[in-house]
Amino acid sequence: MDGKQCPRCIGDERLSFEERTFKYCRPAVMYDHFDREHLEEMKENEKHNLIICDHPQCKEEGVKLQHLDHFRAHVMSRHGVSLRRSDQVKSFAKISRRLLSVCS
């Protein structure tokens, strides 16, 4: 994977191939997308100690992780995508709309 691709969207079968493999112009823009679109859901999953990697290959292998930090370490080592640590995640309000529109 490319470091500017979203590791969740890539396995989302509701999306088109283009959307699943979409590359953001900068990693920071992908992080903003990830934090906004997926983090809440993943935190919810973390409460149940069940985080699944959505990458098609990992789904096939049944990769299961317990914590968000495990997921971060996994996508880093397995897919070459680094994500923000929880202490680096910006609050929703602080995410710049301008930054997002630069890329679209």
Beta-ladder partners of 52: 64
Instruction: Enumerate residues 6+ apart whose C-beta is below 8 A from 69.
Output: 85, 86
Q: Tell which one of 58, 65, 81, 83 touches Zn ion (CB under 5 A).
A: 58
Residues 6-45 as x/- pattern, contact with Zn ion by CB under 5 A: x-xx------------------------------------
Q: Does 55 bind Zn ion (CB under 5 A)?
A: yes
Cα-based angle 88, 82, 36 (whole degrees, multiple of 5): 55
Rounded alpha-carbon distances, angstroms, from residue 71 to 94, 103, 104: 24, 26, 28
* Minimum distance, C-beta of residue 82 to Zn ion, in the bound complex (Å): 13
When the beta carbons of 76 and 91 are compared against Zn ion, the nearer one is: 76
Which parts of this chain interact with Zn ion (CB under 5 A)?
6, 8-9, 53, 55, 58, 78
